[in-house]
Amino acid sequence: DSGVTQTPKHLITATGQRVTLRCSPRSGDLSVYWYQQSLDQGLQFLIQYYNGEERAKGNILERFSAQQFPDLHSELNLSSLELGDSALYFCASSVQETQYFGPGTRLLVL
């Protein structure tokens, strides 16, 4: 158990819909990262937050947004969903150089 929690574990929705994925980092970790893993793909970095502020942005679509709240939990919002958004979405929190990953949310867009 990494100490990072993600909800929900599975999500099935339809194209055009909007969903929110939630992540709670390990106690004391200020950084939260979001990643997307599509079939047979590596981990694609989406966005990083540090203590409530956006720190770095990767390959995140304009239809996607995220935020980190004062209690340090983070939410990833995915809107106007397309079939190609079906993937595993991981969040990670870090202390220094090492990231600790949550179990992921499996999103299926039908």
What residue type is assigned to position 22 of the chain? R
Cα dihedral 58/64/68/73 (nearest 10): -110
- 25 touches other proteins by CB under 8 A: no
Sheet of 74-78, strands arranged across: 5-7, 19-24, 74-78, 64-68
Q: Which is nearer to other proteins, 61 or 79 (CB)?
A: 61
# chain residues binding other proteins, by CB under 8 A: 24
String of contacts with other proteins for each residue 60-89, x by CB under 8 A? ------------------------------
Span near other proteins by CB under 8 A; candidates 14-22, 62-70, 78-86, 99-107: 99-107
58: contact with other proteins by CB under 8 A: yes
12 contributes a contact to other proteins by CB under 8 A: no
Q: Which residue shows structure tokens 């999500």?
A: 11
Shortest reach from residue 16's CB to other proteins, in Å:
28
Nearer to other proteins, 22 or 100 (CB): 100
Give the DSSP per-residue string, 59-87: S--TTEEEEE-TTS-EEEEE-S--GGG-E
